[in-house]
Amino acid sequence: MSEINIPRLDLKDYVNGTAERKKKFSDDLGRAFTETGFVTIANHGMTQALMDELYAEVKKFFSLPEELKRKYEKPELAGQRGYTAKGKEKAKDAKVPDLKEFWQRGQTVTDGDPVKEQYPDNIEVEELPRFNEVTLEVYQRLEKAGRYLLKAISVFLGLDESYFEDKVHNGNSILRAIHYFPIDDPDALSPDAVRAGAHEDINLITLLIGASADGLEVLTRNGDWYPVKAQVEDIVVNVGDMLQRLTNNKLKSTTHRVVNPPREQMKTSRYSVPFFLHPKLNMDLTCLEICIDENHPKAYSDMTAGEYLDERLREIGLKM
């Protein structure tokens, strides 16, 4: 399918490369983000051992008894910290909730930044101290990789390389551990029920550590669903709605979904850990002037990241 451009890029080319290699990385990343909105990234700063341990700890958490997990559910936080049970989140305009439960860790502010007052505290799992430590380390490493990717995007767009830096430093980013739980009785399942309904991400960019099973698909320009597969050690990165909005649709926030497995595999679990890189709530998402011209008139109203997040959380059922 020739319209699909999901290249495999090496982040070391941007972080430690020559000027030529940095430019090529930036150009290749920008081209993919304008065409399909997805890339896979190698050498992102995490070891395979860390990723393996992360998934081991995530499986331990979701294997805890239901009543124990619910101890960590805080509905007043709209799913932004701690545990969110089955049947809560749905894709925008979906008829039924996604077939999943999840855990979210947010920003840990350590430098006295007053933005700390805007964020709820992270919730620690008493029964699994290593779960808390590993998710924090993964959060910090993915945040660092994400900041490099945003620098490369800034260069591609013709902005100063550090354009996003003050906006994402201590940003409202989220690390989400997802359990797509087994379906014991597929016949009782609603025909509309899927692991994750067709949706676009809310944030600037998403960095996804390879899922434990296939299922991720992106919607092509031709209206076909195309499976995304990354090498085990790589991460998948895609554009979110905030970046699409900021760039007046120059960079594409592509619709994607997680489909149900074949019937014979319905009784198995799937685990996934995306990092949603958000800016601070006060970031102005007004379309960049450099992305507006006669052929591309301004497509969006002015809005802050916080206002947009609030709107979207209501649409997906996490906030009333």
Helices (H) and strands (E) in the chain, counts: 8, 12
Q: What pLDDT digit, counting tens, does each position of 57-76 carry?
A: 999 999 999 999 999 999 99
User: In this predicted structure, what is the pLDDT of residue 222?
Assistant: 85
**The pLDDT value given to residue 184:** 86
| pLDDT confidence of residue 190 | 87
Task: Identify the architecture of domain 8-315 in CATH.
Answer: Sandwich (2.60)
How far apart are the C-alpha atoms of 109 and 132, rounded to whole Å? 16
Rounded to 5°, the CA angle 40-307-100 comes to 50
User: Taking the complete model, does pTM exceed 0.85, yes or no?
Assistant: yes
What pLDDT does residue 3 have?
A: 56
The whole-angstrom separation of Cα 58 and Cα 177 is 7
The ranges of the chain with pLDDT < 70 are: 1-3, 212-213
Q: How far apart are CA 210 and CA 273, in angstroms?
A: 8
In contact, 57 and 131? CB cutoff 8 Å: yes
Amino acid letter for position 158? G
**At 136, phi and psi to the nearest 5?**
-65, -45
Rounded Cα distance between 307 and 291, Å, is 22
Within its chain, how far is the Cα of 104 from the centroid? Answer: 12
pLDDT per residue over 71-125, tens digit each? 999 999 989 999 999 989 888 888 899 999 999 999 999 999 999 999 999 999 9
287 touches 248 (CB < 8 A): yes
d(C-alpha 122, C-alpha 175), whole Å: 11
pLDDT computed for residue 231 by the predictor? 82
Would you call 69 helix, strand, or coil by DSSP? helix
pLDDT of 1: 38
